[in-house]
Amino acid sequence: MTIQQVLYVLEIASRSSVSQAAQKLYLSQSALSQQLRRLEEELGYALFSRTANGLQLTPEGQRFCEQAEPVADRWAEFCKAIQKKEKSQQIRLRLGVGSRVYSNNLFPKIAAYFQSKPEIEVTFVTEAGRDMADALRKGELDLALDRLPLDDPQPKSAELSATPLIRERQCVLLSPTDPRAGYNSLAFRDLQNCTMISGLEDSAEDRIMKNALRKYHISIKRVYRTDGIDTSMQLVRDGMGIAMGPASFADYFHVKAVPLEPETWISLQFICLQSSLKRPVIQRFRDYLLSLCDPVNESVFP
C-alpha cells in the first residue's frame, strides 16, 4: 500500500465515481481503476460496491476511509511544509524527454502535473538523439524520461537510477506501402542490405543501431541520418528506408511497426542520478508517473 493509493481511495469516495476522481487527479480512468484493484487485492476485501447512484463504500471501505482521513491530513500538512521550503529555494527542473513519452501519450499528463505545481519552473529538453545519461552525469539535466537499452554499448553506470515506466516491444518501422508491412515479424537477417534511418553520427540512437547490426552480422546499403524524430519518421513513411523503434511509434507517426525476432523489449525509464532521488520534488514526480504506468506490461495511454 502507498500513500498515493490511500489518497486515491479518499478522492473516489468523496465523488462516488472513478471517472470524476480520475479527472481531478489528472489520471486516466483505467489507470485509477487499476490502482484501486491492486489495493483491494492487497487488502483482501472490496472498498466499494456499485449501485444505481454510483460507487458506494462497503462497510470495510467506510472503516478504511475513517482511518485514512487523519493520515491524509497529516500528509497534506507535510507536503505543504516541504513545498514552502522548496518555494523559497526556487525549484528548477531540467527534464529530458524522449520520443517514447509522446508516442505513449504521456506528455499531456506530465504537462498537467506541472501545471498544478506553480512552484516548479520546468524546462523540457527534447533534443532528438541526445545521450540523456551523459547529460545527467554532466549535470546538464536533473532527470530524463528515455530508454536505457540493455545492449547499449555504453551501459548505465552505478551512479544512475533507472526506474522502468512502460515496457515496449522493439520493432522494425516501415512505410505502410512496404511489402513487409503485413508480416507478423521480421528477423535481423531480413534487414540485410537495407537502407537504415538513424540519428546523427555517434548519437545514442546511432550507437544502438550499430551495436545491433554488429551483433547480428548485418550489412546495410546506406544510412540516412537526422537529428529530428519527425524527419526520421517522414523518411520511413516515404519509403526511403527503415528504422528501429517501439510499437507505439506506429499509430503516433503513421508508420507500420513489425515486431523484431528474437523478441527485444525496451522500457521507457525514469532516469536520474542516485543522489537526486533524495530530492522530494523528484520523488513525488516519480511516484506520480508510476501511478500512471505499468512497468511490467505494455501500457499505452488512450
**What pLDDT score was predicted for residue 265?**
87
**What pLDDT score was predicted for residue 130?**
74
As a whole number of angstroms, the distance between CA 108 and CA 210 comes to: 33
> Which of 213, 254, 248, 212 is CA-nearest to residue 233?
254
- Answering whether pTM is above 0.75, one says no
Query: Grid coordinates in use for 284?
Result: 513525488
As a whole number of angstroms, the distance between CA 248 and CA 169 comes to: 9
Domains of the chain (ranges, CATH numbers): 3-87 (1.10.10.10), 91-166+267-292 (3.40.190.10), 168-265 (3.40.190.290)
**What pLDDT score was predicted for residue 234?**
96
**What pLDDT score was predicted for residue 85?**
60
pLDDT along the chain (302 residues), means of 10: 91 90 82 90 92 87 94 88 63 92 94 89 84 86 82 54 91 96 93 92 81 89 90 95 94 95 90 90 93 65 36
Assess contact for 159 and 136: CB atoms under 8 A.
Answer: no
| Strand ranges (E), 86-194 | 91-97, 120-125, 143-147, 160-174, 186-187
